[in-house]
């Protein structure tokens, strides 16, 4: 057990099924979000880099079988957001990223997500495209294609 910290485990934690969760992996990502701390205790990766098939931690701890089997149950709960439909979940860095990751926009709109208003790079409207929820990228304004239900992206937005 390379991760064992003296005095950290209680009697129940010495069983062979001790998981990575028992080591404190809390950290802030360079984007100032909640992250996952790699074994080097320096690298802090985005939660959505966990179990994505690519090694993002130098040791590959982000792809360990222990962590990634039976998703999302072996992941730290602080890295998970439960969608409005409890059958679905996303990584916490996919919440309030303007994209409809839950499929019902519960990660972008609503009380449990409690996202801030659209940022300066975004235009507020009701989109016609499934991938957006209540903000569309300003770079799509006046691009000759309707993104907003009320066409405000083509007639008002600059």
Return the exposure string of 27-55: e unless at least 16 CB atoms fall within 10 Å of the residue's CB, then b. bebeeebbbbbbbeeebbbbbbbbbeeee
Q: Tell which one of 94, 106, 134, 147 touches Ca ion (CB under 5 A).
A: 94
In this structure, how many other beta carbons lie within 10 angstroms of the beta carbon of residue 95? 22
Going by C-beta distance under 8 Å and a sequence separation of 6 or more, which residues neighbour residue 112? 82, 84, 106
Q: Which helix (H) or strand (E) holds 34?
A: strand 34-37
Window 31-50: contact mask with Ca ion (x via CB under 5 A): ------------------x-
Q: Tell which one of 107, 109, 136, 140 touches Ca ion (CB under 5 A).
A: 107
Q: Is 93 in the site for Ca ion (CB under 5 A)?
A: no
Residue, CB closest to Ca ion: 101
Q: Of 94 and 134, which has the nearer Cβ to Ca ion?
A: 94
Q: Is 29 in the site for Ca ion (CB under 5 A)?
A: no
What the block records as the tokens of 35 is 């992250």
Q: Of 52 and 146, which has the nearer Cβ to Ca ion?
A: 52
What the block records as the tokens of 4 is 């064992």
Q: Is 64 in the site for Ca ion (CB under 5 A)?
A: no
Q: Is 97 in the site for Ca ion (CB under 5 A)?
A: yes
Site residues for Ca ion per CB under 5 A: 49, 52, 54, 56, 62, 94, 97, 99, 101, 107
């Amino acid at each position: 057990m390379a991760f064992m910290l003296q005095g950290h485990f209680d009697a129940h934690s010495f069983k062979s099924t001790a998981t990575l969760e028992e080591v404190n992996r809390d950290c802030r990502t360079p984007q100032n979000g909640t992250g996952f701390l790699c074994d080097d205790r320096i690298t802090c990766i985005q939660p959505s880099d966990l179990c994505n098939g690519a090694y993002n931690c130098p040791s590959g701890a982000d792809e360990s079988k222990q962590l990634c089997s039976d998703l999302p149950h072996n992941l730290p709960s602080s890295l998970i957001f439960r969608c409005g439909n409890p059958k679905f979940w996303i990584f916490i860095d996919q919440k309030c990223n303007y994209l409809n990751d839950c499929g019902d926009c519960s990660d972008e709109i609503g009380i449990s997500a409690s996202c801030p208003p659209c940022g300066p790079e975004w235009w507020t409207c009701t989109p016609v495209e499934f991938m957006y929820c209540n903000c569309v990228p300003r770079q799509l304004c006046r691009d000759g294609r309707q993104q907003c239900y009320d066409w405000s992206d083509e007639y008002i937005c600059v």
